[in-house]
Structure 1
Amino acid sequence: MSKGGRRPPPSKDGKRPPRRLLGQNRELAGIKVWNWSLPALAARLRDGSTVRTCPAAGVCAQVCYARQGTYRFPSVQARHLANLEYVLADLDGWRRQMTDELHEMRFQGGDAWVRIHDSGDFFSDEYLLAWLRVMASARHVRFYAYTKEIARFKKLVEPDPPKTFRWVYSLGGTEDHLVDLEADRVADVFPDAESIEAAGWHSQDRSDLLAVYGPTPVGIPANNIPQARHRQGDRTLGQWQAERPRRNADGGS
């Protein structure tokens, strides 16, 4: 919502943006986290074109939680699509509205967090730079993200990172080879909690914020989705992704 509680004017494509951009689910509300979402993996726009919202997705696309369950509800999919279309049609307008919203009373006090993308990713340089400008204009809010856009972050974020932004590189994407396991904060999805402990990784299951504030490397237990768990098997997403080049070289799929 714009300053003064007024609904923002229509964007450049004539569509009226949502009154509020950030939402909360029950899990994140308990730790005072708001979230912003885009369609997972890719989206077909109303004009018939397709946008890849997770360009560096790899094997993660086969088990993505954001393509299953409640994320498939028509109302949820419509909201995520509207978010993407707003960003694409009027990135400057979106940035101004996001900044204004972050100055509302609910984000004051210094303990508010925004999780950028519980689905979707930083799909372009321009979009990531817009988020960095939002952070610079709302220094009282803290931000975090999981991302597979490793090359983009190393180019645009790592040289001069905002003090209020924390991120974790999530394995299972096509840019896993760019991760420095010794220097970077890294997360991987494990089959279960026991396999996280056995590997000596640190679970974030108690709080999503442990992914960016707790000890590293970070282990995430797989969601309890039978089909996805069957596909992943007893390997992590990082291990699964690492198998792909070898299979291709051997002539496998």
Structure 2
Amino acid sequence: MFEIWSAKLATARPSPLLMRNARLRRDPAHIWNWTLPALRAELPSGQKIVTCPSAGTCADICYALFGTYRWRPVQERHVRNLRFVVEDLEGWEQAMRAELGARRFRGAAVRIHDAGDFFSDAYLSAWLRIITARPGVFFYAYTKEVMRFRRLVEPKPPPNLAWVYSLGGKHDGQLDPAVDRVADVFPTEAAIADAGWHSQEASDLLAVQGPSPVGMSVNRIPAAVRLLGDRTLAQMQQESDRRKRALRASRRGERR
């Protein structure tokens, strides 16, 4: 189930906008990240925003619902980020563009979202303008917004943007690993190798710059490990989709 929470004190505009989470600080590449609340959140105004509209079974094992992501200061920071975007998209875009002009971002990489996703056309379009305005920075993202990217990004992507479609979402059926760059979550690193996929464990940038298809092992969160079992996240999504189709068929039969 989606987790809905509110942080009434998250009122100030965040500064700086870009951070480096614990994993990215350990990464050999020079990577910064931008983040939103995972799945959905409630703003101080009471407005509820779904930040991952295309999430599927990934919501059951999302790492951004565990550990330090549950700390109140972290949650409040993420809500401030979202509030800035929702209440003042133009101002946020200008602030992000200005921050990325700093010397420390020259030749750096920015991961867009270690939680959250491109939840609206307007928000994704703002990112595309930012990326185009900062050609000296490399941007990348994991996303489940397949249909939105098909419309707004794939026809003419900025050369300094790369992305990987993460499996375990509502639109998995629209993806072909032989054509699309995709990533799946596996129980272990050994399972990735056994499947003939390619791990991004050595650096997060391998998700978009290494060989494809991409595998990552599930975060060692007991609940996530238990739920995933010996499946991949894509297989978990397929099972969920089959159950939903069977339920719909059963309900149609009952109405006849």
Which TM-score applies when normalising by structure 1? 0.91
Separation in 2, partners of 1:196, 1:177:
21
**Aligned to 2:247, what secondary structure does the other structure show?**
coil
For each residue in 1:93-117, what CA deviation from the matched residue of structure 2 results, as whole angstroms up to 9, or x when unmatched?
Answer: 0000100000111112x2x000000
Separation in 1, partners of 2:200, 2:45:
40
Check the 8 A contact 2:12/2:80 in 1, yes or no. Answer: no
After TM superposition, what 4+ stretches of structure 1 lie above 2 angstroms from structure 2?
248-252
**Aligned to 1:250, what secondary structure does the other structure show?**
helix
Separation in 1, partners of 2:198, 2:48:
37
Q: Hey, what does 2:15 align to over in structure 1?
A: 19
When the two chains are superposed, the root-mean-square deviation of aligned CA atoms in Å is: 1.2
Q: Hey, what does 2:176 align to over in structure 1?
A: 180
What's the CA shift for 1:249?
3.2
What's the CA shift for 1:226?
0.8
Matched, 1:72 2:73: no
Matched to 2:98, the amino acid is D
| Residues 161-180 of structure 1: pairs in structure 2 closer than 5 A | 161-180=157-176
For each residue in 1:98-142, what CA deviation from the matched residue of structure 2 results, as whole angstroms up to 9, or x when unmatched?
Answer: 00000111112x2x0000000000000000000000001111000
**Percent sequence identity over aligned pairs:** 55
**Aligned to 2:151, what secondary structure does the other structure show?**
helix
Match of 1:135 among 131, 137, 143: 131
Separation in 1, partners of 2:22, 2:181:
26
**Aligned to 1:94, what secondary structure does the other structure show?**
helix
Matched, 1:202 2:234: no
Matched, 1:247 2:246: no
Matched, 1:154 2:150: yes
For each residue in 1:5-63, what CA deviation from the matched residue of structure 2 results, as whole angstroms up to 9, or x when unmatched?
Answer: xxxxxxxxxx6522210001243134210000000000011122211000000000000
Matched, 1:58 2:49: no
Matched to 1:43, the amino acid is A
Separation in 1, partners of 2:139, 2:57:
26
Task: Number of aligned residue pairs: give it.
Answer: 236
Which TM-score applies when normalising by structure 2? 0.90
Separation in 2, partners of 1:156, 1:63:
28
Check the 8 A contact 2:109/2:137 in 1, yes or no. Answer: yes
